[in-house]
């Protein structure tokens, strides 16, 4: 499809949030552009439905060319999630173009993780045992139905991952609570809030529990850090919780 400065936002930026959009910056007077164009078109057509090709005439859309620093053509930029994810300059042989396009497509594991069901997550974890975005949701499924030992075994495959460490710490504390070995106020209510997706109530309960969590403070801290990591650094709730956590610990 031909894209202009008027349609660029919708046809490239917004569309790239759904699937990769490969943008070919070209000009009619450019022989290498005429050489590359058919190669790109054939390769994209072979991957129909998985990505799209947009063509921008730099002579007619000089503002876009300046915005993206186009100094030589053909220049190819691939957009994913609204930003440039990969690029190359100059006419390339078909095999190079093929590899470039394939690098933009989800891997088998990516597709399995996106599916999100237990069978898919199990297969993803088999293919890439250290893939935290497969292991952690699978471990959550297992914990929810009582398969805690298997959940812990999986979580051990991704050491250093905050979400995994937090979930392992939660399983440990839940076992202690069930055995009557951990008289810490508020933990059960905090876990219930976490299960229903109420991160604010969960964090509030966990942070308040720190004062009576002698012997379990590190595990509570790991759970809190796991929640904060999933919220992200810019989340206002996470910023406030980090301040409260530091005050409670130090």
Catalytic residues: 30, 33
Closest CA to 238 of 248, 220, 224, 219: 224
Q: Residue 48: helix, strand or coil by DSSP?
A: strand
Sign of the torsion formed by the C-alpha atoms of 146, 189, 242 and 217: negative
For 161, half-sphere exposure in the C-beta direction (CA atoms, 13 angstrom radius) is 19
- Work out whether strand 52-57 and strand 21-26 pair parallel, antiparallel, or are unpaired: parallel
- Can you read off the two tokens belonging to residue 168? 């392992």
* Three-state DSSP class for residue 13: helix
3-state helix, strand, coil in the chain (%, to 5): 60, 10, 30
Sign of CA dihedral 178, 184, 189, 192: negative
């Amino acid at each position: 499809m031909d894209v202009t400065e008027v349609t660029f936002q919708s046809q490239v930026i917004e569309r790239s949030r759904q699937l990769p959009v490969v943008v070919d910056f070209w000009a009619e007077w450019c022989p290498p552009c005429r050489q590359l164009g058919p190669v790109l078109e054939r390769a994209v057509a072979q991957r129909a439905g998985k990505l799209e090709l947009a063509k921008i005439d730099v002579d007619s859309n000089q503002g876009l060319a300046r915005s993206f620093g186009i100094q030589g053509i053909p220049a190819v930029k691939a957009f994913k999630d609204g930003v440039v994810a990969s690029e190359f300059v100059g006419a390339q042989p078909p095999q190079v173009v093929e590899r470039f396009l394939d690098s933009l497509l989800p891997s088998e594991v990516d597709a399995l993780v996106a599916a999100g069901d237990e069978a898919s997550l199990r297969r993803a974890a088999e293919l890439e045992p250290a893939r935290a975005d497969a292991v952690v949701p699978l471990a959550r499924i297992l914990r929810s139905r009582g398969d805690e030992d298997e959940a812990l075994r999986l979580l051990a495959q991704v050491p250093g991952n905050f979400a995994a460490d937090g979930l392992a710490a939660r399983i440990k504390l839940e076992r202690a609570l069930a055995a009557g070995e951990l008289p810490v106020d508020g933990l059960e209510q905090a876990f219930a809030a976490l299960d229903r997706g109420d991160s604010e109530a969960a964090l509030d309960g966990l942070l308040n529990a720190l004062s009576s969590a002698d012997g379990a403070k590190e595990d509570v801290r790991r759970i809190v850090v796991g929640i904060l990591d999933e919220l992200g650094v810019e989340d206002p709730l996470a910023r406030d919780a980090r301040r409260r956590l530091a005050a409670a610990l130090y």
